[in-house]
């Protein structure tokens, strides 16, 4: 009150009555403007907060759409793999001390495997128009010729050691000599056969074939293959030592490796790299 009194007295001493009314009116207007500016700043802060929230929501939706659409085509799944399943350098002792897993697939002589397909499996790959059909044919004929569990033998029985991964060329040699083997031997051989066809006729499709190391429902570590089947656009398991019908059922019913309760993916690899398990 004292401040207001002094202010009015100062106005009386220095300005006329009309001037004082104008000044008071200006002060009132100024106070109103300050209140309006304060309210505008509050509105702007609310709008910025809402915009930030919308942007975060849009980003989450975009990620969800991207993830949900990963199986819409071979192209989108390939891109999803590149974005979400990083290359790594995973080592494993497959009989010669720790080495990169990819090295277990060396050497692989294309002509040797193509000759095996032609002469042993009796398949003419040049008459089959579709790569998926070729992959299915190779596996079903192979499984029929080398039925499990008759051809299964542990590495201790075969080599006197706990673990030894034959490379693709060694596997072909063992099969020609009608020697038995376990999951990694048959898996390595199947990898070499399919990869030989890819190299010969479909070189751009090599990314669709991988070796998978999985933990089975029984808790054991298992070596198998995965193939990205067209239309499913995800990994279909290619069994290596379980009953032959396992592959045919997975293929015809489109039972993907990721959604198969019998397996949990640990890591995967091909001739060029190893890949960490995707958490998505």
Q: Are residue 57 and residue 107 in the same domain, yes or no? A: no
How confident is the model at residue 180, as a pLDDT? Answer: 94
Q: Are residue 56 and residue 183 in the same domain, yes or no? A: no
How confident is the model at residue 18, as a pLDDT? Answer: 62
Contacts 24+ apart (CB under 8 A), 205-209: 205/131, 206/270, 207/78, 207/81, 207/270, 208/74, 209/270
CATH of the domain at 93: 3.10.620
Domain count, the chain: 2
Q: Are residue 78 and residue 100 in the same domain, yes or no? A: yes
- The mean pLDDT value for 79-104 works out to 94
- Sign of the torsion formed by the C-alpha atoms of 252, 253, 254 and 257: negative
Q: Are residue 88 and residue 175 in the same domain, yes or no? A: yes
231-247 burial, b if ≥16 CB within 10 A, otherwise e? ebbbbbbbbbbbebebb
Please check the confidence at residue 167 and state whether its pLDDT lies above 60: yes
Domain that holds residue 77: 72-276
Q: Are residue 59 and residue 77 in the same domain, yes or no? A: no
Please check the confidence at residue 4 and state whether its pLDDT lies above 60: no
CA distance 249 to 130: 20
How confident is the model at residue 280, as a pLDDT? Answer: 57
Q: Are residue 80 and residue 133 in the same domain, yes or no? A: yes
Q: Are residue 35 and residue 84 in the same domain, yes or no? A: no
- The mean pLDDT value for 180-206 works out to 97
CA distance 182 to 95: 14
Q: Are residue 264 and residue 211 in the same domain, yes or no? A: yes
Q: Are residue 32 and residue 93 in the same domain, yes or no? A: no
Closest CA to 171 of 252, 233, 94, 246: 94
Span 48-63, pLDDT tens digits: 777 777 777 656 655 5
Span 113-148, pLDDT tens digits: 999 999 999 999 999 999 999 999 999 999 999 998
């Amino acid at each position: 009150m004292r401040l207001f009194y002094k202010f009015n007295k100062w106005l009386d001493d220095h300005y006329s009555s009309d001037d004082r009314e104008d000044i008071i009116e200006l002060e009132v207007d100024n106070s109103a403007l300050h209140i309006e500016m304060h309210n505008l700043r509050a509105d702007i802060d609310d709008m910025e907060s809402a915009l930030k929230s919308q942007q975060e929501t849009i980003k989450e939706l975009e990620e969800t759409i991207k993830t949900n659409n990963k199986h819409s085509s071979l192209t989108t799944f390939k891109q999803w793999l590149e974005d979400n399943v990083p290359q790594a350098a995973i080592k494993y002792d497959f009989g010669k001390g720790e080495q990169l897993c990819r090295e277990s697939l060396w050497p692989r002589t294309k002509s040797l495997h193509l000759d095996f397909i032609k002469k042993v499996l009796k398949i003419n790959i040049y008459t089959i128009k579709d790569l998926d059909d070729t992959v299915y044919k190779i596996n079903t004929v192979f499984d029929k010729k080398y039925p499990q569990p008759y051809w299964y033998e542990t590495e201790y029985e075969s080599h006197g050691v706990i673990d030894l991964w034959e490379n693709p060329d060694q596997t072909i040699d063992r099969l020609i000599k009608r020697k038995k083997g376990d999951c990694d031997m048959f898996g390595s051989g199947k990898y070499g056969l399919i990869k030989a066809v890819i190299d010969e006729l479909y070189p751009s499709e090599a990314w669709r074939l991988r070796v998978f190391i999985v933990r089975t429902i029984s808790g054991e570590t298992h070596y198998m293959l995965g193939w990205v089947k067209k239309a499913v656009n995800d990994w279909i398991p290619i069994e290596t030592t379980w009953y032959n019908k396992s592959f045919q059922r997975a293929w015809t019913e489109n039972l993907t490796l990721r959604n198969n309760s019998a397996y949990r993916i640990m890591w995967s690899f091909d001739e060029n790299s190893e890949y960490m398990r995707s958490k998505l």
